[in-house]
Amino acid sequence: MAVRLIDVARRAGVSPSTVSYVLSGNRPISAETRRRVEESIAELGFRPHAGARSIRRQATNVVAMVLPMFADGQGGVQMQFVLSALRAARARGFNLLLLTAEDGVAEINNLVSSAMVDGVIVMEIQVDDPRLPVLGELQRPVVLIGTPDDREGLVHVDFDFAAAGAMCVRHLLDLGHRHIGLLGQPADTFARQAGYALRAREGVLGVLREHELREVWAPAQPNPAGVAEAIEELFGQDPDLSALVVYNEQALPFVLERLKQLGMRVPGDMSVLAICPDDQAEHLVPPVSDVALPSRELGRLAFERLAGLIGGEEQPVSTLLAPQLKRRGSTGPPRRGR
Amino acid sequence: MAVRLIDVARRAGVSPSTVSYVLSGNRPISAETRRRVEESIAELGFRPHAGARSIRRQATNVVAMVLPMFADGQGGVQMQFVLSALRAARARGFNLLLLTAEDGVAEINNLVSSAMVDGVIVMEIQVDDPRLPVLGELQRPVVLIGTPDDREGLVHVDFDFAAAGAMCVRHLLDLGHRHIGLLGQPADTFARQAGYALRAREGVLGVLREHELREVWAPAQPNPAGVAEAIEELFGQDPDLSALVVYNEQALPFVLERLKQLGMRVPGDMSVLAICPDDQAEHLVPPVSDVALPSRELGRLAFERLAGLIGGEEQPVSTLLAPQLKRRGSTGPPRRGR
DNA sequence: TTGAAAGCGTTACCAT
DNA sequence: ATGGTAACGCTTTCAA
């Protein structure tokens, strides 16, 4: 069977409590005793039984992360959240356990009530997410990736999508564009009221409205047909379109391809500005200017906040990462006469 | 504090053991007692403490899954493995915990020795993976996604990449092609001896060799520049190329785009046949024929095998899913005179 | 500086 | 059909 603490103690000729204290550091131990115990631990290959430990400790050093319902692992920003949170957790000695949103709040509650996890990260937050009340009553720390409408409640981290959308439009306005369209997330993302999709759209359309320009936008499926359809829709709304804000990282390559097909040069005939992770824009042809979506940073930050809460530290309720524009040459002034 | 089993027992007016037996079903319980206990559980919102439970049981109902080092969540087949394994696990009442390959075998050992997990799924297996010996000595079930050179060792599940590559070439040969090239995974995938990349290549090149045809192949980075370079390289090796096997799901859209740029029609001037998940080929223009990589099936299967081992059942050591060709019209006979 | 022993919450054996 | 109670492996109080 597995090596137990008492085996270590016997071999080192000390009591179990001494071994425990060597492990936890909660009591001064003589150098000699410590040496013997550590040697014994090493030789026997002893690892404390996590379950037994979690009975007396108040913690498991495991956190849960709830994946969105529709996660498909395809170029998803969500997967970046998971991977970066995972790295951050591992670096701090935590383990990360995955749940899917299909599991629902009941399952989260289960994990928490059965003392399997010390805290939970939830992503894909809807503007008025029905899960929030329950999450608020969970007796364990929770961090959201995404901003709920009620910003006073749970600790959350997010990218400032509204500011990002606005920044895109302002950049294009500065270049002289007056006919700007948004090619956004797929329709079902809007349908489920995903905060990022709604806020980015409002960021874009809000600035257009301020400037009394036409509010042109369309959702797009991330495949050639979906993109072609969306672009047609946008031109239907405004035939003079000279600039596109693309907030749909998976569709972006197809947008460039479609524009080329239509005989439009970028940025000569059409400026393109994306909201997406930097590495998904920089290797395209032409390299696409973007407002970088800091997906890795967000996952890491979410875990850091959670770890803080678990450690009993106060954490800022709301953290919105500010957008930054990265120019790469896919935007320029509109053609004359536009 | 948290509700304990003894609280439930007191409220129901029974002994702790009775509650335990109601929970486990390991003993007949009178209808009346069961009712009282269940009511008590519901009213108190009792959840058994997972840690305490794991001391006495021999299991935690948690399994670990080891991600590849370089996982980036970008259209990765690996992420499909994770998601489908996760769904399968959740459906069977298991939790899934993530580890990264950077963590190394030592960390896997840690998880296992500390009784945190009942088993481990490891993916991205190299043909001669240095982790295998250690995994073999782990005192817990292990399932690999990927085929080691030594197929007698650990239980593994995989797609038959060699057969898939061969099937692609045979299909193209049947259509009359004699100048066939492989556009494969990125160079670093080959560099780290990933089994799937090597075996798919050997499947392709092996059949070409049998037929005494030129063995044309190139690795490709999944971006426009990388793909352009790879295609140029392929034409350099054989200017008469009339068919392409593409085993690089992320590069596939860029391949189609590049061919169009070069003025080549698909399948008129160039047949294209992919090895990739179906949903990454079907929505392209034109829809691409493929040998479908059953990524979801593999993740699910890996978990099922692991669950079987954990349950003490014998499992087949080697499971290779057979390839199947899905025709979608991106392949046709070569132009006359080729 | 160290040890003995009483828990922690659950399970399963031994009774009845 | 049910209850009492000794484990499980570790932590921590109390004593020395």
How many angstroms separate the CA atoms of B50 and B52, rounded?
A: 6
Least confident of A66-70, B118-122, B313-317: A66-70
Interatomic distance B116 CA / C16 C1' (Å): 38
pLDDT of residue B148: 95
CB A82 within 8 A of CB A65: yes
- What is the rounded CA–CA span in Å between residue A15 and residue A20? 9
- Could you report the per-residue pLDDT of B128-170, keeping only the tens digit for each? 999 999 999 999 999 999 999 999 899 999 999 999 999 999 9
pLDDT at A152: 86
pLDDT at A337: 54
Looking at the complex, report in whole angstroms how far the Cα of residue A84 sits from the nearest Cα belonging to chain B: 9
Per the domain annotation, does B332 fall within a domain?
no
- Pair A299, A245 in one domain: no
A232 touches A242 (CB < 8 A): no
Q: Partners of B66 in the beta sheet?
A: B99, B122
Give me the mean pLDDT over the B255-270 stretch: 96
Query: Which residue in A209, A195, A118 sits closest to A160, CA to CA?
Result: A195
Chain D footprint positions (protein CB, under 7 Å): 1-5, 7-13
What does residue A95 show for φ and ψ, rounded to 5 degrees?
A: -105, 155
By C-alpha to C1' distance, C13 is nearest to: B17
b/e code A297-314 from CB counts within 10 Å (16+ = b): bbbbbbbbbbbbbbeeee
- With a pLDDT cut of 90, the percent of chain A lying above it is 95
Best mutation target among A1, A105, A116 (most B Cβ atoms within 10 Å) is A116
Amino acid, res. B108: I
Asked if B155 and B166 sit in the same domain, the reply is: no
- Between positions 146 and 165 of B, the ones with CB within 8 A of A are none
Distance between CA atoms of B287 and B248, rounded to whole angstroms? 16
Q: Select from B146, B171, B323 the least CA-distant residue to B245.
A: B171
pLDDT of residue A74: 79
Q: Indicate yes or no: CB of A2 within 8 angstroms of CB of B62.
A: no
d(CA A180, CA B213): 53
Residue B4 in contact with partner chain A when CB distance is under 8 A: no
Question: Quick one: pLDDT band at residue B275, thresholds 50, 70, 90?
Answer: very high
Quickly list H helices, B57-214: 77-91, 104-113, 132-137, 161-174, 187-191, 195-210
B23 touches strand C (CB under 7 A): yes
Q: Are residues B63 and B167 in the same domain?
A: no
Closest alpha carbon to B117 in B56, B54, B67: B54
Q: Which two tokens stand for residue B103?
A: 């963590």
CATH number, residue B105: 3.40.50.2300
Residue of B nearest to A74 (CA): B75
- Cβ neighbourhood burial of B128 (10 Å; 0-12, 13-18, 19+): exposed
Q: What is the pTM of this model?
A: 0.96
Chains A & B: contacts with CB separation below 8 Å? 151
Peptide bond into B224 cis (omega under 30): no
Query: Which domain does B100 fall in, by range?
Result: 59-159+295-321
Summary mean pLDDT of chain B: 96
Instruction: Report whether pLDDT(B71) > 90.
Output: no
Asked if residue A171 is part of any domain, the answer here is yes
Yes or no, beta carbons of B45 and A113 under 8 Å apart: yes
Q: Which nucleotide is nearest to B58 (CA to C1')?
A: D8
* B254 and B166 within one domain: yes
Q: What is the arithmetic mean of pLDDT over B331-337?
A: 86
B172-203 confidence digits (pLDDT tens): 999 999 999 999 999 999 999 999 999 999 99
- Which residue do the tokens 């004699």 mark? B178
User: Is A269 in the same domain as A308?
Assistant: no
> Closest partner residue to A50 among B72, B107, B114, by Cβ?
B114
Centre a 10 Å sphere on the Cβ of residue B43 and count the other Cβ atoms it contains.
12
B208–chain A nearest CA distance, Å: 32
Is residue B168 a part of any domain in this protein? yes
Residue A335 lies in a domain: no
Q: How many domains does chain B have?
A: 3
Query: If contacts are CB pairs under 8 Å, which of residues 216-235 in chain B contact chain A?
Result: 223-226
Q: Residue B269 pLDDT more than 80?
A: yes
Give the 3-state secondary structure percentages of chain B, helix then strand then coil, rounded to 5: 45, 15, 40
Nearest to A11 by CA among A40, A34, A47: A40
Q: What is the DSSP string of B230-246?
A: HHHHHHHH-TT--EEEE
Residues of chain A with pLDDT under 50: 338
Q: What is the pLDDT of residues A289-304, one digit of tens each?
A: 999 999 999 999 999 9
Token couple for B93:
């009442």
- Choosing among B60, B70, B74, B134, which should be mutated to test the A contact, i.e. which has the most A CBs within 10 A? B74
Yes or no, beta carbons of A111 and B95 under 8 Å apart: yes
How far, in Å, CA of B241 to CA of A266, rounded?
31
| Segment B85-100, tens digit of pLDDT | 999 999 999 999 999 9
Closest residue of A to B75, CA-based?
Answer: A74
| Phi-psi sector, A176: left (phi>0), alpha (psi -120 to 50), beta | left
What is the rounded CA–CA span in Å between residue B138 and residue A229?
A: 54
- CB contact under 8 Å between B97 and A100, yes or no, is no
Cβ contacts of residue A145 below 8 Å, gap of 6+? A81, A121, A122, A123, A124, A125, A156, A157, A158, A298, A299, A302
Q: CB of B2 within 8 Å of any CB in chain A?
A: yes
β-strands B243-246, B95-100: how paired?
Answer: unpaired
In this prediction, residue B74 has a pLDDT band, given cuts at 50, 70 and 90, of confident
Same domain, B175 and B263: yes
Using a CB–CB cutoff of 8 Å, tell me whether A53 touches chain B.
Answer: yes
Query: One-letter amino acid identity for A309?
Result: L
Whether A130 and A179 share a structural domain: no
- Mark whether A285 and A187 lie in a shared domain: yes
Query: What is the identity of the amino acid at A94?
Result: F
Q: Residue B29 is part of a domain; what is its CATH number?
A: 1.10.260.40
Secondary structure class of B269 (helix, strand, coil): coil
Q: What is the DSSP track for A226-258?
A: HHHHHHHHHHHH-TT--EEEE--TTTHHHHHHH
Contact list in A for residue B75 (CB cut-off 8 A) is 73-75
| B80 touches A at CB < 8 Å | yes
B167 and B285 fall within a common domain: yes
3-state secondary structure of B58: coil
Q: What dihedral do alpha carbons A256, A259, A265, A269 form, nearest 10°? A: -120
Q: Please check whether residues B155 and B180 belong to one and the same domain.
A: no
CB contact under 8 A, A284 and B103: no
Q: Is the minimum distance from the CB of A261 to strand C below 7 Å?
A: no
Tell which of A70, A87, A223 to mutate to test the B interface (max B CBs under 10 Å): A223
Q: Are residues A41 and A25 in the same domain?
A: yes
Q: Is A212 exposed, middle or buried, given 0-12, 13-18 or 19+ CB atoms closer than 10 A? A: exposed
The alpha-helical segments, DSSP class H, found in A45-76 are: 50-56
Is residue B150 a part of any domain in this protein? yes
Is residue B270 included in any domain, yes or no?
yes
Collapsed DSSP state (helix, strand, coil) of residue A9: helix
Tens of pLDDT, residues A150-174? 998 999 999 999 999 999 999 999 9
Amino acid of residue A190: F
Mutation choice for B interface testing from A41, A54, A123 by most B CBs within 10 A: A54
Judge if the upstream peptide bond of residue A186 is cis by omega within 30 degrees of 0.
Answer: no
Give a yes or no: residue B115 inside a domain.
Answer: yes
* Strand D atom within 7 Å of A25 CB: no
Helix (H, G, I), strand (E, B) or coil at B292: strand
Q: Which residue is nearest to nucleotide D7 (CA to C1')?
A: B56
In this prediction, residue B73 has a pLDDT band, given cuts at 50, 70 and 90, of confident
Residues 6+ positions from A170 with CB-CB distance below 8 Å = A207
Q: What does R_g of chain B's alpha carbons equal in angstroms?
A: 26
pLDDT at A228: 97
Helix and strand tally (H, E) in chain B?
13, 12
Residues A46 and A168 in one domain: no
Q: Which of residues 255-284 of B touch A (CB under 8 A)?
A: 257, 280, 283-284
Confirm whether B338 is domain-assigned. no
Answer yes or no: do B285 and A110 touch at CB < 8 A: no
DSSP secondary structure string, A116-174?
Answer: --SEEEEES-BTT-TTHHHHHH-SS-EEEES--S-TTSSEEEEE-HHHHHHHHHHHHHH
The answer to whether strand D lies under 7 Å from the CB of residue A17 is yes
